[in-house]
Amino acid sequence: MLEVSALAKRYPTGDEALRGVSLTVGNDEVVFVIGPSGAGKSTLIRCINRLVEPDAGSITLDGLEITTLPPADLRRARRQMGMIFQEFNLVERLTVMENVLSGRLGYVGLWQAWRRRFPPEDVAMAFATLRRVGLDGMENKRADALSGGQRQRVGIARALVQRPKILLVDEPTSSLDPKTSGAVMALITELADEERIPALINIHDVPLARRFARRIIGLSAGQVVFEGPPAALDRAALGVIYGGAGEELEGALA
Amino acid sequence: MSHVAVWRPPSPWPARWMGPGVWLALAAFVAWNVWNLEVDAARVARGLARAGTVFGRAVPPDFHRWELLLEGIVESLQMATLSTALGTVLGIPVAIMAARNVAPLPVYAAGRGIVSLGRTFHEIIVAIILVKAVGFGPLAGMLTLTVNSLGFFSKLLAEQIEQIDRGQVEAVRVTGAGRGAVLLYGVLPQVLPRIVGLTVYQWDIHLRQSTIIGIVGAGGIGTTLYNSFSRYDYDFTLAILLVIVAIVSLGEWVSAWARRRIQ
Amino acid sequence: MGAPPHPVTPDPIAAPRVWTRHTPAQTAGRVLLRVASAVAIVWAAQGMGVRWEWVADSPTQLADLFGRMLPPDWAFAGALVEPLFQTVNIATLGTAMAVVLACPVAFLAARNTTLNRVSYLAARLLIVVSRSVDSLVWALIFIIIVGPGSLAGALAVAVRSIGFVSKLFAEGIEEIDRGQVEAVTATGAGRLHVLFYGIVPQIRPVFAGVCVFRWDINIRESTVLGIVGAGGIGFVLNTAILGLEWARVGLILLVILGVVALSEVGSAAIRRRLT
């Protein structure tokens, strides 16, 4: 269970990205976060594994306080959190298998990492995960030779082989075409259910969130302004999240 | 269908045997050199001891003979400046000759020949020959740097000319302009910023080279430096080296600044 | 209103308009720049200490010199094999040492991988010093320390190359994609794991290209190190010049031309295959 409370972050530029955000993601629960660009969705996710250092507030994962961990313990905690990125963030010049195995980097020594000598059970798990995400037989292709949808599948596999306690998913479909978006989002939610991994998913696309979500959190200007099932996400609620009018509201209503 | 869960890490080399092969060759090469150069503990110890002595005698640097130093630096600056002017004047025609899209084939061949001659020989070799021809002193050095321009400046400028937009050249040609007018109106405006940039860049490189060709008698601070070495005046040597580092870095900075302004 | 006059025909009533290429301020600036350049050139020319009788004599001298170099003394070729091998060896060994030493320096000199401000400035200073002092001067220094010979040459090449190689490596490191590094960090990998898994694959082609490029430059530099006593073909060249054996000088210059051209072609071919 992930519990975030009163999380705040102000960037050196003065932007207040998060202003006291509190939320929980229960075990086996998939929570979607929607909100306009600049609402702080990305910062929220990045604060949870401290790719961005929060200024105040608390984050606990299964009771472990994340915000005060010293570096070595933070790395151990990060191994429990699988992250999926908007731009996939694969190491482009490495093969699919090397990218998936990078999810196990926290468990091997430096020499094994350099020589790519991962334990056989890690390799077996990577093969199985690749088959599950639909990339059977692609293990020796280089990441930069794949299509966008395939790359995101590698990104998903990389997060899964971490055997995470939670998935942090940052706008996984924003770089994909609509058809691939649906397939990738379906895959993520299916896998989260199958493997019983809770997930926190940022998403820009409200119709897509409605399709897959059971619980939605609306973020606006660094604060939680909505929380409820998709059915409760009516015109008024969207107006609150997306600020009354404008292009983004139109997009959300479409 | 099921995959056997065996995965061989990919090799960054075109062929798998090349990885170990290269490492093995490298190890053999290093081992052979250690043996051949007679690098052993005793020699390393002696070397370090001597390095300590030299360093001890070089610190603190001795700036007492600053007039001599200044004289050398001024001479280096003069050599660099004049050779840049001369190099640009001579380099532009050579560059035009060495650009395939504006020069007829025999002219092109001659142009490329001049460029590769200017590029291949290290400035020290050119300096030795020119010292024989015009005598010791900065003139030989200045001419050396000019020869170097013909290789370096002309090559880069020729490449620029080869990349120009053909449409603009054709537009001038169809007005009935002659060869010279086409160069002046169709080619020159396209490469002028590059000429100015390269001229500045050239000056910076010449300044760098002018600090060493004095070793073979071709003027500049290099002569002063070499003399201080042969007289074991290591404290003066260090002073000269510090000034060289400062001047060369300053030159590079000025040149980078000027080139940014041009673009 | 009748039909407008032909657009290219000048209007006879209007005052003739003057076209100038530059505004007065531009013109002033250009004049100033030209005067400054002219002054600089005249000043520089004065410092040349030209002895006109020597200059007048120089075409004869040069013609005489090249006349003596031709035909080259082919019989001397056998004696060049060993020094030539030494030259290539100096360049290769020097490049190898430089690359090994440049790797840590480069990571410290790249803004995104350096440890702190002090390490960044120290690495940058090292690069500046290494680059501003020519390999011949480094050779003079190393001859004092390790004595004349190939070792001094290789060390000189190495020290001189560290700055160049580190600078280009550091530029490559600064251009890496942060996202890829972030993703590897997010898996909970340690600092060095991230370095070897997330950063090194991204910069590998740049590194390989820079190594080959510097090796090519070092071949050219190694041809002259022998002139000050640091081994290789330059030593033979210097001996031949001092002994006024111009036919041998001719041959040596030809050989240098060949080796340098060959290494340049080879390096260009390898670099084209990278990326």
Is 70 exceeded by the pLDDT of residue B4? no
CB contact, 8 Å: B6 with chain A? Answer: yes
- Residue A60 phi, psi dihedral angles, 5° rounding: -125, 140
Residue A174 neighbours by CB under 8 Å, 6+ apart? A86, A204, A205
Mean pLDDT of B196-211: 88
Q: Is A226 helix (H, G, I), strand (E, B) or coil?
A: strand
Is residue B141 in a domain? yes
Report helix angle B123-134 to C200-225, nearest 10. 30
Say if residues A157 and B33 touch (Cβ distance below 8 Å): no
Q: Which residue has the higher pLDDT, C8 or C39?
A: C39
> What pLDDT, on a 0 to 100 scale, did the predictor assign at position A248?
67
Q: How many CB pairs under 8 A join A and B?
A: 23
Say if residues A46 and A215 touch (Cβ distance below 8 Å): no
Is residue B203 in a domain? yes
Tell me the domain boundaries of chain A: 1-80+165-177+202-254, 92-164
Is residue C28 in a domain? no
Put simply, the answer to whether B7 touches A123 (Cβ < 8 Å) is: yes
Q: Is C140 helix (H, G, I), strand (E, B) or coil?
A: helix
Q: Containing H/E element for C39?
A: helix C24-46
Q: Which residue has the higher pLDDT, A223 or B132?
A: A223
Put simply, the answer to whether A136 touches B10 (Cβ < 8 Å) is: no
For residue C209, the distance in angstroms to the closest alpha carbon of chain A comes to 16
Say if residues A176 and A197 touch (Cβ distance below 8 Å): no
Q: Show which subunits contact B, needing at least 3 CB pairs below 8 angstroms.
A: A, C
Segment B78-100, tens digit of pLDDT: 999 999 999 999 999 999 898 88
Mean pLDDT of B180-206: 85
> What pLDDT, on a 0 to 100 scale, did the predictor assign at position A100?
95
For residue A93, the distance in angstroms to the closest alpha carbon of chain B comes to 10
Put simply, the answer to whether C136 touches B51 (Cβ < 8 Å) is: no
CB contact, 8 Å: C69 with chain B? Answer: no
Is 60 exceeded by the pLDDT of residue C1? no
Segment A167-193, tens digit of pLDDT: 999 999 988 999 999 999 999 999 999
Is residue C47 in a domain? no
Edge to edge, what strands does the sheet with A2-10 contain?
Answer: A16-25, A2-10, A56-61, A64-65
> What pLDDT, on a 0 to 100 scale, did the predictor assign at position A246?
61
Say if residues B152 and B90 touch (Cβ distance below 8 Å): no
Domain of C133? Answer: 72-273
User: Residue C171 corresponds to which amino acid?
Assistant: E
Put simply, the answer to whether A137 touches B3 (Cβ < 8 Å) is: yes
Please report which confidence band the pLDDT of residue A110 belongs to, taking 50, 70 and 90 as the band edges: very high
Query: Based on the structure, what is the number of domains in chain B?
Result: 1
Indicate the fold that domain A1-80+165-177+202-254 takes in CATH: Rossmann fold (3.40.50)
Restricting to C residues 79-118, those with a Cβ less than 8 Å away from any Cβ of B are 89, 92-93, 96
How many residues can be counted in chain A?
Answer: 254
Put simply, the answer to whether A106 touches C196 (Cβ < 8 Å) is: no
Closest chain B residue by Cα to residue A122: B5
Rounded Cα distance between B65 and C275, Å, is 52
The chain-wide mean pLDDT, for chain B, equals 85
For residue C16, the distance in angstroms to the closest alpha carbon of chain B comes to 25
Q: Report the residue of B33, B204, B247 to disrupt the C interface, i.e. the one with the largest count of C CBs within 10 Å.
A: B33
For residue B21, the distance in angstroms to the closest alpha carbon of chain A comes to 16
Mean pLDDT of C51-64: 79
The chain-wide mean pLDDT, for chain A, equals 91
CB contact, 8 Å: A141 with chain B? Answer: no
* Closest by CA position to A227, among listed A216, A235, A236: A216
Query: Based on the structure, what is the number of domains in chain C?
Result: 1
Residue A140 half-sphere exposure toward CB, CA atoms < 13 A: 9
Put simply, the answer to whether B10 touches A98 (Cβ < 8 Å) is: yes
> What pLDDT, on a 0 to 100 scale, did the predictor assign at position B5?
63
Rounded Cα distance between A234 and A216, Å, is 12
For residue C237, the distance in angstroms to the closest alpha carbon of chain B comes to 9
C182 interaction partners in chain A (CB closer than 8 Å): 51, 85, 89
Is 70 exceeded by the pLDDT of residue A245? no
CATH (domain of C81) = 1.10.3720.10
Is 90 exceeded by the pLDDT of residue A204? no
Q: Show which subunits contact A, needing at least 3 CB pairs below 8 angstroms.
A: B, C
Instruction: Respond yes or no on whether the N-terminal peptide bond of residue C71 is cis (omega within 30° of 0).
Output: yes
CB contact, 8 Å: A103 with chain C? Answer: yes
Say if residues B203 and B251 touch (Cβ distance below 8 Å): yes
The encoded tokens of residue C213 equal 């490029």
Mean pLDDT of C166-174: 93
Put simply, the answer to whether A124 touches B9 (Cβ < 8 Å) is: no
Put simply, the answer to whether B3 touches A126 (Cβ < 8 Å) is: no
Domain of B213? Answer: 66-262
The encoded tokens of residue C204 equal 């590998």
Is 60 exceeded by the pLDDT of residue B126? yes
Say if residues A33 and A219 touch (Cβ distance below 8 Å): yes
For residue B140, the distance in angstroms to the closest alpha carbon of chain C comes to 9
CATH (domain of B88) = 1.10.3720.10
DSSP string, chain B: ----S--PPPPSSSSTTHHHHHHHHHHHHHHHHHHHTT--HHHHHHHHHHHHHHHHHHPSP--TTHHHHHHHHHHHHHHHHHHHHHHHHHHHHHHHHT-TTTS-HHHHHHHHHHHHHHHHS-HHHHHHHHHHHH-SSHHHHHHHHHHHHHHHHHHHHHHHHHTS-HHHHHHHHTTT--HHHHIIIIIHHHHHHHHHHHHHHHHHHHHHHHTTGGGGT--SHHHHHHHHHHTT-HHHHHHHHHHHHHHHHHHHHHHHHHHHHH-
For residue A106, the distance in angstroms to the closest alpha carbon of chain C comes to 4
Say if residues C213 and C171 touch (Cβ distance below 8 Å): no
Please report which confidence band the pLDDT of residue B129 belongs to, taking 50, 70 and 90 as the band edges: confident
> What pLDDT, on a 0 to 100 scale, did the predictor assign at position A115?
87
Segment A209-236, tens digit of pLDDT: 999 999 999 999 999 999 999 999 888 8
* Closest by CA position to A102, among listed A168, A159, A145, A48: A159
Nearest residue, CB atoms, C179 vs list A49, A85, A113:
A85
A115 interaction partners in chain B (CB closer than 8 Å): 9
Say if residues B81 and C41 touch (Cβ distance below 8 Å): yes
Mean pLDDT of B207-224: 88
Mean pLDDT of B229-254: 88
Rounded Cα distance between A106 and A110, Å, is 10
Q: Which residue has the higher pLDDT, B248 or A8?
A: A8
For residue A78, the distance in angstroms to the closest alpha carbon of chain B comes to 25
Is residue C76 in a domain? yes
The encoded tokens of residue A49 equal 């594994």
Q: Report the residue of C133, C200, C218 to disrupt the B interface, i.e. the one with the largest count of B CBs within 10 Å.
A: C133
Q: Report the residue of B39, B134, B144 to disrupt the C interface, i.e. the one with the largest count of C CBs within 10 Å.
A: B134
Segment C239-275, tens digit of pLDDT: 998 888 889 999 999 999 899 889 988 888 888 887 6
Mean pLDDT of C5-13: 64
Extended strands (E) in C40-105: none
Rounded Cα distance between A46 and A20, Å, is 15
Measure the N-to-C terminal CA separation of chain A; round to a whole number of Å: 33
Nearest residue, CB atoms, B7 vs list A97, A115, A131:
A97
Mean pLDDT of C4-20: 68
> What pLDDT, on a 0 to 100 scale, did the predictor assign at position B1?
43
Average the pLDDT over each of A141-150, A176-185, B132-141, C155-164 and give the range with the smallest value. Answer: B132-141
Q: Containing H/E element for C82?
A: helix C81-109
Restricting to C residues 131-170, those with a Cβ less than 8 Å away from any Cβ of B are 132-134, 136-137, 140-141, 144-146, 149-151, 154
> What pLDDT, on a 0 to 100 scale, did the predictor assign at position C78?
85
